[in-house]
Amino acid sequence: MSITYTIISFIIALGILITFHEFGHYLVARWNGVKVLRFCIGFGQPIFRRRWGKDQTEWVIAAIPLGGYVKMLDENEGKVAPEDLPRSFNRQPVARRFAIVAAGPIANFLLAIVLYWLLFILGVNGMKPVLGPVEPATPAAYAKFETGETIVSIENESVASWQDARWTLLRYAIDQSANVKVQTVNKNGEINWRQLDLSHIDPDKLNENFLGMIGLNSYQPTVKPIIAQVMVDGAGYHAGLLAGDEILTINDIEIQTWMDIVQEIRTNPERTLELEILRDHQVIALAITPEAATENGKQVGKVGIAPVINQAEFDELMVTVSYPPGKAIQKAIEKTWETTTLTFQMLSKMITGDVSWKNVSGPISIADYAGQSAQMGLVSYLAFLALISVSIGVLNLLPIPILDGGHLMFYLIEMIRGAPLSDKIILIGQKIGLTMLFTLMVFAIYNDINRLITG
């Protein structure tokens, strides 16, 4: 995936999410009669500028697409003509100011609902939650899960795919819940209830292979060690491998499945391996040196060969989850609510120290996710947009001065006191908020860079 593709996907995502957020502020301001001077997407040098409407609002797109703002008429920011005073933001009752500021995050939540609604109508593809080998000495092993079982429900919540299973279990893991009830069905149709203890899951590793930590793996059909395709000019091509060859041993290690081949090749970059292959009923010895390639900062071996795949077996494991429009809107609201509450839970546990700040992602990681999801198709990209839209909504509701949530906090205090806070206190709060936001951004970028270095 090219850097250009990633950057374009990232910019499009930010453009959509920021525009909806700021449009929420804009619409509610207009509905309440407040004069809007400027609607700006991005910061820095304007690359597009135009005035429209009765109020000649200035519409701007700036060069750095990492935010935006709606500038309203306000006596705190300059002189206001006497005839415009009733339309000044600061002259509005506190309830109206509260509504205007809250409209931005609410717009992000509404956008997430619309996106999830589209997803549930279009259908989300995934793998059926059929269990592969259960890792020993893990919660799944202690709960006596067995290979071939299919997860049907978790705490009476129906599960249709591995995405559903991971999401539901993650919610309980964040609460460090013990003995989560999981219903499975085996190949004979027998129903089992498993008590899965999630209380000892390391909260620092929730962003990693979460299901793997529990001991759950998805079932994969056995792929035989038979070559279907050899890439021209790859290491396999130069070693003399041909389509139809069956690999029997690598360095005298018996090969049972294609994954055995992958394991040996990936762990031996630029090291010569001795192969025994079966070709036309004859055993042939070949030597091959895997080429070195870098993945997530680590060197792995590659030889440019692909296996024979029984597509029907893989298709049988796939499922498409979709709903009619009426049911889809209900599921979309539920999904947005679950995502919002889960995000707040994660943040609260970070503040209390129960979950590591290593789980915070910054612009580099988000850009990478944007590129990956866009490459996977429209459905994946819409799911990414919905998730980030919720995250932006939650972030802006945090009671940090300079964010929407900080302004809402000041307005709540004003409602309780019957008078606004002094300009001095608000200024001190804004300085504190700016420091907090800068610190959070430093943490996020550090985590991004650390993930790139450590893979």
Q: For residue 229, count CB atoms less than 10 angstroms from its CB and return exposed for 0-12, middle for 13-18, buried for 19 or more.
A: exposed
Buried b (16+ CB within 10 A) or exposed e, 239-252: bebeeebebebbee
| 265 falls within a domain | yes
Q: Are strands 318-321 and 191-196 parallel, antiparallel or unpaired?
A: unpaired
* CATH number of the domain bearing residue 278: 2.30.42.10
DSSP E strand stretches across 209-297: 227-230, 246-250, 253-254, 273-279, 282-288, 291-295
| Tens of pLDDT, residues 355-371 | 665 666 666 667 776 77
What would the DSSP string read from start to end of 46-81? EEEEEEETTTTEEEEEEEEEEEEEEEE--GGGS---
Nearest Cα to Cα of residue 320 among 241, 377, 244: 377
Q: What is the pTM of this model?
A: 0.75
**Domain assignment of residue 288, given as a range:** 227-309
* Local structure of 156: helix, strand or coil: coil
Measure the CA–CA gap between 98 and 83, rounded to whole angstroms: 24
| 300 falls within a domain | yes
Rounded to the nearest integer, the mean pLDDT of the chain is 86
- Split into its structural domains, the chain has a count of 1
Cβ 105 vs Cβ 404: under 8 Å: yes
Measure the CA–CA gap between 290 and 304, rounded to whole angstroms: 9
221: left (phi over 0), alpha (psi -120 to 50) or beta: beta
Per-residue pLDDT averaged across 9-37, rounded? 92
Helix and strand counts by DSSP (H, E) for the chain: 13, 16
| 169 falls within a domain | no
- pLDDT for the residue numbered 265: 94
Alpha helices in 353-422 (DSSP H): 363-376, 378-397, 404-417
Beta bridge partners of 307: 227
Sign of the torsion formed by the C-alpha atoms of 116, 117, 120 and 125: negative
Per-residue pLDDT averaged across 340-367, rounded? 71
| 278 falls within a domain | yes
Measure the CA–CA gap between 84 and 67, rounded to whole angstroms: 28
| 160 falls within a domain | no
Residues belonging to the active site: 22
Beta bridge partners of 182: 154, 194
Nearest Cα to Cα of residue 123 among 421, 325, 370: 325
Measure the CA–CA gap between 346 and 355, rounded to whole angstroms: 7
| 288 falls within a domain | yes
| 108 falls within a domain | no
Measure the CA–CA gap between 29 and 70, rounded to whole angstroms: 9
Q: Which residues contact 204 (CB under 8 A, 6 or more apart)?
A: 355, 356, 358, 359
Measure the CA–CA gap between 143 and 193, rounded to whole angstroms: 9
pLDDT at 381 over 90: no
Percent of the chain at pLDDT above 90?
Answer: 38
- pLDDT for the residue numbered 324: 92
- pLDDT for the residue numbered 218: 87
Rg of the chain over Cα atoms, rounded to whole angstroms, equals 28
- pLDDT for the residue numbered 329: 94
| 299 falls within a domain | yes
280: which 2 tokens?
Answer: 């036309």
251: which 2 tokens?
Answer: 């360095």
Q: Does an H or E element contain 183, and which?
A: strand 180-185
Structure confidence at residue 378 as a pLDDT band (50, 70, 90): confident
| Tens of pLDDT, residues 208-267 | 677 888 888 888 888 899 999 999 989 999 999 999 999 999 999 999 999 899 989 999
* Local structure of 149: helix, strand or coil: coil
* Local structure of 205: helix, strand or coil: helix
- pLDDT for the residue numbered 282: 93
pLDDT at 201 over 80: no
